[in-house]
Every structure is written in structure tokens, then in C-alpha cells.
Amino acid sequence: MVKKQNIFDAVNGSHAQVIHKTLLLSFWRNFINDGSQMGGNKLKREVLKSNFNDGVKTQDQRLRLLVNYSQIIIGNPKNIFKKRIDFNDAKAKLHRSNRMINTKCFVCLGKANCRHHIIQLQNGGLNQKKNLVSLCNKCHSDIHPWLK
């Protein structure tokens, strides 16, 4: 069975960023049902603080949501080589400061030891805090079967 991918075509880099922001806001709003108009980073902080008391609650639901979003493709004219360089620079900064976005796995709430891009970089995702969640290796390999 072939998985259906959601493809969003962007006419330029700015349009791709708008699509990216809209998709991530919809992702984080799955977890808070208060109808607030918070921005992506604040919304993510509130979700992680609330320990998933509202919205999508179960481990299986969170995993399915991450799998669905990892299949989104944003047609972005930005050169993939340039994106990789930008990602490596941002990753180096994060590691230098030695901080994790969150120490709990987003899916199983166990100890996290890797970061996952909700919308993958190769599919047009951006390397921003609101596009990253912390995962344990097991949950990460459940999202990306080739990691098993």
C-alpha cells in the first residue's frame, strides 16, 4: 500500500514559509482546544507544559499525527544543499549550548535523546523550534521505519 502524501506547492520562499507556519500551527492546535490565537512557539510551549491534557492524548494518536505530518511536502524553490548547510549551522549552535527542546519524548513521554522535524527538511520543512519535537530512539524509528 502506497502512503498518500500531502503536497503543497509554493511559488517562492516566502510563500513556502507561510505554508510551513500554517501547517505547524494546525499541528500544535491538535493539542489545545481553547481556540486561542497564540503563535507557534508559544502554542508549543503551552502544549508541552500541559502534558497533553487537552486534544490528542494517547501515545498512538501522537505517533500517528507525527507520521502524517512527516509525509507533508512543501514545494520550496530553496536549494536543498543550502538548506543542509543552514541546518548543520543551527544544529551546531543547539549542541554548543547543550540544550534539548524538551527532555521528554513527545510520543511516549519517556526520556528523549533525539530531535525530530515535524515537517521534514527534505520535504520543505524549516529548522525552527516549532518544527522540532524531542523523541526517544524507539518512537523516532516508529515514524521513520528505515531507522530500525
Annotated domain spans of the chain: 7-147
Q: For residue range 100-140, what is the model confidence (pLDDT) as tens digits?
A: 456 788 899 888 888 899 998 888 888 788 888 889 999 99
Whether the full predicted model's pTM is greater than 0.85, yes or no, is: no
- Using 50, 70 and 90 to split pLDDT, how confident is the model at 141? very high
Q: Which of 1-5, 29-33, 113-117 has the lowest mean pLDDT?
A: 1-5
Torsion angles phi and psi, residue 67, rounded to 5: -60, -45
What dihedral do alpha carbons 65, 119, 42, 44 form, nearest 10°?
30
What dihedral do alpha carbons 36, 37, 40, 44 form, nearest 10°?
-10
Q: Which of 3-7, 17-21, 29-33, 129-133 has the lowest mean pLDDT?
A: 3-7
Nearest by Cα to 90 from 44, 140, 132, 37: 132
- Partnered with residue 7 across adjacent β-strands are 73
Q: For residue range 51-96, what is the model confidence (pLDDT) as tens digits?
A: 655 556 688 888 888 898 888 888 755 555 666 677 667 666 655 4
CA distance 118 to 127: 10
Contact yes or no for 136/111 (Cβ under 8 A): yes
